[in-house]
Amino acid sequence: MNYHFFVGNDNGNSEHDLVIDGRLIQQPNVNCPVDELPWREEQAPEGFVKQLQDHLVVTVDSPAARPGMYYVGKFALESGEIIDNIQIGIDSKSDMDLPIVNTLAQIAAVAVQKAYEEEKQIPPQIDVEVDMATALPVTQHTDESSAKFEKRFTSGSHHVTVHLGIQRVAVKIVFQFVKVVPEATPVIFTLQKDAAGNWREGDIFAEFSAAYGIEKKFNGSYFKDKRILHVDIGDGSTEYPITEGNRFLRQFVHGSHHGAGYAIEEALQEFNRLIHLPDSPRQFFSDVLKNPKHKYHARALKTLRRPLESQVKQIVQHVKKQLTKARNEIDLICVYGGGSILMRTVLYPNLKALCDEREIKLLYIPADYAVELNAAGLDAFVRGKIFDALKHKADVEQPA
């Protein structure tokens, strides 16, 4: 079986958000190398397929990463094994195996699911060709680091065995073209257009249009000529790029090592003490925070409050620096990313006051959309004319 996938790949410090063949996948961005399968007995492989992302076990043979068997995402997090994750403020994503392994695993999983949906049986082998857009933090994105990251995907074929119980599916993945861009910049594409290519509408803009008394039929065309200061708050970094229309303004590249992950790291020791654990990973704390019904939710919020306020203070200072550099010539500030959800109650009033005094509008993306905006933007980019032109240029320049 042969497939071609477009992939928009947001390799976050905490969460891995990808749009693969039009499907949004969201998983903790963790894995753990293991020596054997967790299953001993024969189980119906069809039972694995529907929820494959939550039970993902793969063997990877790739020129870009250490070969071996891995638990990936949620299955790794809940396995009790020692997990690998991205150390915020320390690890460079372009050098790490984790983004490679997890990306390959998720692409292979979707290929297996698609084959089963179409054929109603598990194929022994699948070949996948991929065009992909992914991103690096602004603080890590250079011509050298982006070329290096691209090459790790494109130099050679990658072989992934997806384990469905004790049955195996061999998936060969070849990346035709990969483009690595600075994080946050593709968001402008998804603010303007939906997946069908029409002007974006809906409740993503409801609060914004109501706050500024903009006409009822508000849509993404509003942003096509606007100068926007993005505030993309992740776990380990916050990006502050400025875009004008569809253009990324290189003279305003800026990022800082602030985010929800730093607050969580600071709160983690006290949280573990309160719940009588010697240790727990950052992603477990994140999951508790996302679930108001979790028995430890109130304690997680309590330990996080002060560290979060400290991070917000730093982020506001960096926003002010960017505004000063741009001489306040900004139409609106757009805030999103996983960290923006946790910080909203503290950050929103601070930024609103700043915007009001400088005659700038504030678009604070609702929680339902804040995390997936980068992946959706990368998906829009990989399917768009700019990506197509870059791919064609690379093909022309390829040595014979």
Q: Enumerate the domain spans of the chain.
A: 2-182, 187-376
The residue type found at 252 is F
Q: Which tokens go with 143?
A: 């011509």
Query: Any idea what the Cα angle at residue 305 is, between residues 25 and 292, rounded to 5°?
Result: 45
d(CA 28, CA 102): 10
Architecture of the domain made up of 2-182 = 2-Layer Sandwich (3.30)
Neighbours of 116 (CB within 10 A): 20
Using CA atoms, how far residue 143 sits from 63, 259, 341, in Å, is: 22, 25, 31
Cβ proximity of 186 and 135 under 8 Å: yes
d(CA 62, CA 152): 9
Whole-model pTM: value is 0.87
- Of 151, 166, 157, 125, nearest to 39 (Cα)? 166
Quickly name the fold that domain 187-376 has. Answer: Nucleotidyltransferase; domain 5 (3.30.420)
Same CATH fold, 187-376 and 2-182?
yes
User: Directed axis angle between helix 297-325 and helix 282-290, to 10°?
Assistant: 100
Cβ(220)–Cβ(244) under 8 Å? no
Closest-CA residue to 331 (of 191, 190, 136, 135): 191
**Tens-binned pLDDT, residue by residue, of the chain (400 aa):** 899 999 999 998 888 999 999 999 999 999 999 999 888 777 787 888 989 999 999 999 999 999 999 999 999 999 988 888 877 666 688 889 999 999 999 999 999 999 999 999 899 999 999 999 999 887 788 899 999 999 999 999 999 999 998 889 999 999 999 999 988 788 998 999 887 888 999 999 999 999 998 877 899 999 999 999 999 998 878 989 999 988 888 888 888 889 888 888 888 888 888 888 888 877 788 888 888 899 989 988 889 889 999 999 999 999 999 999 999 999 999 999 989 998 998 999 999 999 999 999 999 999 999 999 999 999 999 998 889 999 999 887 766 5
CB 223 within 8 A of CB 205: no
CA 329 to chain centre: 29
374 touches 232 (CB < 8 A): yes
Rounded to whole angstroms, the Cα distance separating 246 from 244 reads 6
The letter for the amino acid at 341 is: I
For 225-245, the pLDDT digits (tens) are: 999 999 999 887 898 999 998
CA pair distance 307, 285, nearest whole angstrom: 14
Task: Report yes or no: 18 and 9 within 8 Å, Cβ to Cβ.
Answer: yes
